[in-house]
Structure formats: structure tokens, C-alpha cells
Structure 1
Amino acid sequence: MQVSIVRHIVPMVAHRQASWRRVVLAAAMAFCLGLLAAARPASADGATSPTAPVRFGILPLGGAFESRNDWEPLLADMSRALGRPVSVLSVTSYEALERAIERDEVDMAFLSGKMALDTVTQRRMKVVAQVTRHDGLPGYRATLLTRKVGAPTTLKEVLDDPGRWRLARGESRSVSGFIVPQLQLFLPNKIEMETRFRSEVVGTHQTTALAVANGEADVATNNTADFERFTQQFPAEAQRLQTVWQSDLIPHAQIVVRREYPAEFQRKVQAFLTQYGKAKGPAGDSERATLKSLHDLAGFLAADNASLLPAARLAYQLAKQNALTAQWVNEAAKQARLQRIESGYAQQLAVLKEQ
């Protein structure tokens, strides 16, 4: 996992035109974070020991260190509320976080649809809360960005000749960076993102937006929530960009916890999250300020695995669409693939609906 963190952080920092000294320092710090996160053996012991650290994994939305710094105040408050240490694992790719979860190096995590779905159906996790934002909407939208000046400036230009353009997109596990744009925009126009563009950059939403703003890509997938944050952090670069497409509403991310933790502990986590930022007075003001700096969150709602049903539906629709448009050696192979997709989807629904 540590090697992956170092490998992915260099291009991200390069987008911000950092000095080599900062790049080396960032890589070294990321390596140390990985060592700390993996220091405790992968077992269920931490779930039963009241003094073992709770290892919190953060979905990579921007820079690894920015995400870590954003979450640390809330996790410090969580540590005090739970009466036990909470350590942070912040990485720069979905792949690195997924590997950490597979190795049981993560006890609790902030994840969006597809990754949360996989952890619940395959990795002994359960949903305890879902985030809410100040705009009051129950979700956010995937977007497609281009520069305001210089082709392409319209969605039609992108769709008419995708082979002419350089694409910056999210990883295949990213709901707004890959799954939804592929499902709702590109496949309906007979375009496969991975093969039809001239070249591609794969990274976080911050990385993809910077790639287009800096002329290293022509079009990028992104989302409304992260682009708001990007506008605050990179106002000059954001001014060069425009949105040429938006998706249907996507449900907000979830907080998941390992099933091995006692029910009482899970209830304490859920209670802490759902009450966070609700108190009056200075303490509540401080918590609300923490939430606002944390991707402009308004707070958390109590949730269970059923909150992932929309994510399961999206993943199912994408898999089925890919199967229907792929080339097959014969009809039997195609039907076998479709049957596996239907069976897998049915199994996911059964897991999500059981409580």
C-alpha cells in the first residue's frame, strides 16, 4: 500500500506546480502514514479491545494531506466521545484505500457509493451514517468540464469526435468520476471512456479539474460538490473551466464500520455523528465550522445498508449496459454474462436489505 501512495502522489502535487523538495517531503510523509496505519496486525482484536485505535480511512477526494487535515478535527472529537484513539489513513487513490480495506487495515471509513457497496457486500462492513450538505439536496451530480476558451467548448463537440480529445477521469470505482458519466452520458452515445479518447489522465476530482485548467487534458469528469471546493482552493484555475453536462442526482457518501465491532460501539459512533454540529453555543459553533471546512457538510444522518440500494442499482445498470454493447464470440457467452450480472445483483440486494 505504501508504494501505491508514493506512486500516485507525485503527479497530483505536480499539478500544483510544487517544488521537488515539497514533492519528496509529501511522499515521505505519505509513506510514514502508511506505516502507522498498518502497524496494528490485521485481526478482529481491535474490535473487542476498548483501547485499540480505530483506524479511519478517507476516500480520496482531493490531496491526501488536505483530506487528512480536514478530517483530523472531527476525528479528534470522535476519539474523545468514544474514549479511544482514532487514527487516520488518507491515501491518494481508490485502489490504495481498497487494498487497505482488503487487508483489514481499516476499521471505519468515509466512502462513496461503489466502494461503500463493495465493503458492505464483500468486506464485513455496515453503514451507520450518511452525510448531508448545506444545499439541502439529498445528493450531488456528476459533471463534465471543459475550458471556456479553446475547443471543445460544447458537449456536442466532445461527443461528435471523442478521439480528438484528451480525457481526465476518475478511477473505475468512482461513482461521479466514472460510473455515472459512463452510464448516463457516454455509453448512450456509443462511447466507451476507456478506449475512445485520444489519451486519458486518471486521478482524483482535484487532479482532473487541474488537468483541464492547465491544458493537460481537454475534458474532465467531476462533480458539483467537489467542484465547489475546487473553486475555493483554486479560484484562478476554476475561472478557466465550465460545466457542459450534469447527471441525475447521486446519493451522498456514507460512513461504514466493521461488523466485528460490538453493537453498543456502533450505536455510539452513530450517535456521535448524528449529534455532531447540532448543539447550541460555542461548542456547537466549533463543530459546525469543522463540518463546513469538511467538504461543506451540514452533518450526518442515521443510515443503514439500505442507503446503498441506489449505488447497487447504478453498478448493475453499468455492468448490464457494458455486457449488452460488448462484442461476444457467441450468444451463449453473452447470456451467461448477463445471468451472472443478474445473480450478483440479486445477492447484493439480499445483503443490503437484511438488518
Structure 2
Amino acid sequence: MARCAWGLAVRGALALLLGCQVVATAQTAGASSTVGAGTLRFGILPLGGAFESRNDWEPLLADMSRAIGRPVTMLSVTSYEALEQAIQRDQVDMAFLSGKMALDAVTLRRMKVVAQVTRHDGLPGYRALLLARKTGPYNSLKSLLAEPEKWRLARGESRSVSGFIVPQLQLFLPNHIAMETRFRSELVGTHQVTALAVANGEADVATNNTADFERFKLQFPAEADRLQVIWESELIPHAQIVMRRDYGPAFQKQVQAFLVEYARGKGPRSDGERAVLKSLHDLAGFVAADNSSLMPAARLAYQLARQSAMTSQWVNEAARQARLQRIETTYADQQAALRDGAP
């Protein structure tokens, strides 16, 4: 009965999320793709869920609209792929992105980094996690690595840094396990969806991260109490705010100044701004940043591509070496682009 109720709740939530996506897309589709149109179109990653993300970002974007004197609309989507496609179609002027998506936006889509988020713990990043139930046969890292084919995996999309890239790079590939093929089954979704899947017996292990799992504990305390962390990664750099390069330097500086000064003052207004940031995955604020802040993301993407090439099967060694050479060339080009994009 509990599982059935959870399934109905998830289906209802998905219907609501899809409705939010349609509304947001309609707003952006009606806006001109030119910079001079006035409206700033902001895209956000569905870290916890599209509906929650939309509600969390609305107050900050309303404050931004007043500060810069322009309307700000929001694109809140249900997948990384949907946001990436919107960026490719020039339907997004600014975005909250992490890792590979931010890297691609800067190196391929004519965007630039203007700020990076900070958190109250003071750490320069967060960690990817693997979650399992506290009880039952599937509850230890040792048994997971020994027999992954018996486990049901819930993971993030392939563009998700903590939901896929880092666990694949730092844990699974070094143990000769490809996440896409070695498990009994897999479910792909947001960090909230994957954690719920394990808590409710729909999966045996889930990828997640420290920031989202803390938020999950507050939203779903009973479900979180059934879970334990069986692995955590090295630190992953925080996400960035990126903006289209077509905007002039003065406007870019204006937006950057708003972000950096947000919640920095004293008094009721700043107290309210700090409350807004706390709802955004317990953020402490933003710091000014440039494209060079994506160097760690470029290195992660390079390491994963190289590790995958080394462990994959190839028709011959020449094909493998050709792939490795392309990876080296891409990484060198990205490093040059990130250095050139820094002020």
C-alpha cells in the first residue's frame, strides 16, 4: 500500500512538473531571441525537482528583475537534456548550471561565467554520494562492487556531475563497472526521485550529493531515515551562473554585482534575501567568477572520457589511440578557451 501510494504521488507530481514546464516554455518561446528585446530568460537545473526549483528561484529572480530594470522569465525543466536543448535553441540568456553543462555552454554556446555559488559550510564544493537502505541484503559498498548485476540502480542523467559523471569516474570505472550496462536495472531521474526510489524499495542504490541529500532529509524525514551513505566522492566545485556573451560588459557587470551583493547587507531586506538563498539548497551567496572557474569541470570531463576509452572494447588498438588523441585535442582546446575567456 505504501509503495502504491508513493507511485501515485510521484505520477501526480510528474504531471504537475510537466505542466510547469509547458508554462515556462510558452513564456520563453514568445520572447524574442535578440539581446535587445529586454526580457532576460533564466534557465535552471532540476536539482531536486522542476516544481520545487521553480518556486525556490522565483523570489531571487523577482529581486533581480527589480535591480536590473528588466523583466526576468524562468525556464524550469524536468531534465538536463531539456535545458541543454533550450540553450542550443537560444531560448536561454542566463542559467544556473554545473560541470559539463556549464562547460559546454561556455565553450560551445557563446556564454560566459559571471558568478559561482557558495554554501554555508565554507567548503569549495560538494560531494557525490551513493545511497542504500540501512537494512536488507543490498546495503554495503563491498557487496555492490562484488555483484553489481544483482542491484537495481537509480542514477542521474549522463550530464549530471554528481548523479553520473563523478560516480562513474571515481568509483565504478576503476572497479571495471560501467553504470549503463552492469546493473540489474536502472532508473534515471533527479536526486529527489532517485533517493525516493531507494527509500521505497524501487531501487537498491542511488547516486546523489551532499547538498541535495541534506535537503531531502528535511523534506522526507521518514524516507531519509531508511537510507545510509555507502560512498562519497572527492569535492566537486560548486555550480556557476552563466550568461550570453552578446550582452555588453556594463550589463554583465550589473548582473554580476547584483548576485555578489545579494544577502550581503544588514536589516530586514538582507534577512529576507538570506532566507531566499537558504531555500536554494542552503546557499550562502555568490562570488564573482570567470570562465577559468570551469577548469576543474573540464578536467573531470577529460578524465571520464579517457577512462571510458581505456576500458571500452575497440576493433583495434589504432581506433583506441585515435579516440584518445581526439580527447587530448578537445581538452587542450577547452583549456585554451577557458583561459582566453577570463578577464
Q: Taking structure 1 as the reference length, what is the TM-score of the superposition? A: 0.92
Matched residue type, 2:22: F
Secondary structure of 2:203's partner?
Answer: coil
The C-alpha deviation readout for 1:39-84, integer Å capped at 9, x for no partner, is: 1243xx2x234xx210000011012111000000000000000000
Q: Do 1:48 and 1:262's aligned partners in 2 also have CA atoms closer than 8 Å? A: no
4+ residue segments displaced more than 6 Å: 19-22
The alignment status of 1:181 with 2:167, answered yes or no, reads yes
Match of 2:22 in 1: 31
Match of 1:199 in 2: 185
Match of 1:216 in 2: 202
Match of 1:292 in 2: 278
The 3 A distance-change label for structure 1 pair 328 and 69 is: same
Q: Distance in 2 between matches of 1:321 and 1:155?
A: 21
The alignment status of 1:170 with 2:159, answered yes or no, reads no
Match of 1:10 in 2: none
The structural deviation recorded for 1:30 is 2.6
Q: Distance in 1 between matches of 2:31 and 2:12?
A: 31
Superposition pairs of residues 303-318 of structure 1, within 5 angstroms: 303-318=289-304
The structural deviation recorded for 1:20 is 6.6
The C-alpha deviation readout for 1:329-354, integer Å capped at 9, x for no partner, is: 11111110000000000000001011
The structural deviation recorded for 1:37 is 1.8
The 3 A distance-change label for structure 1 pair 41 and 313 is: same
The structural deviation recorded for 1:153 is 1.3
Q: Distance in 2 between matches of 1:22 and 1:160?
A: 36
Match of 2:306 in 1: 320
Q: Do 2:115 and 2:242's aligned partners in 1 also have CA atoms closer than 8 Å? A: yes
Match of 2:44 in 1: 58
Match of 2:36 in 1: 48
Q: Distance in 2 between matches of 1:71 and 1:106?
A: 15
The structural deviation recorded for 1:22 is 6.2
The 3 A distance-change label for structure 1 pair 117 and 215 is: same
Matched residue type, 2:78: T
Give the % identical residues.
72
Q: Distance in 1 between matches of 2:41 and 2:232?
A: 35
Secondary structure of 2:73's partner?
Answer: strand
The C-alpha deviation readout for 1:235-290, integer Å capped at 9, x for no partner, is: 11100100000000000000000000111010001100000000111111111111
Q: Do 2:131 and 2:206's aligned partners in 1 also have CA atoms closer than 8 Å? A: yes
The C-alpha deviation readout for 1:110-149, integer Å capped at 9, x for no partner, is: 0011100000000000000000001110000001000001
Secondary structure of 1:57's partner?
Answer: strand
Match of 1:269 in 2: 255
Match of 1:159 in 2: 145
CA RMSD of aligned residues (A): 1.4
Secondary structure of 2:181's partner?
Answer: helix
Matched residue type, 2:246: E
Match of 1:130 in 2: 116
Match of 1:225 in 2: 211
Q: Distance in 2 between matches of 1:248 and 1:294?
A: 23
The structural deviation recorded for 1:15 is 5.2
Q: Taking structure 2 as the reference length, what is the TM-score of the superposition? A: 0.95
The 3 A distance-change label for structure 1 pair 102 and 23 is: closer
The structural deviation recorded for 1:152 is 1.3
Match of 1:330 in 2: 316
Q: Do 1:15 and 1:211's aligned partners in 2 also have CA atoms closer than 8 Å? A: no
Gaps of 5+ in 2: none
Q: How many residues align?
A: 337
Match of 2:331 in 1: 345
Matched residue type, 2:166: V
The structural deviation recorded for 1:31 is 1.5
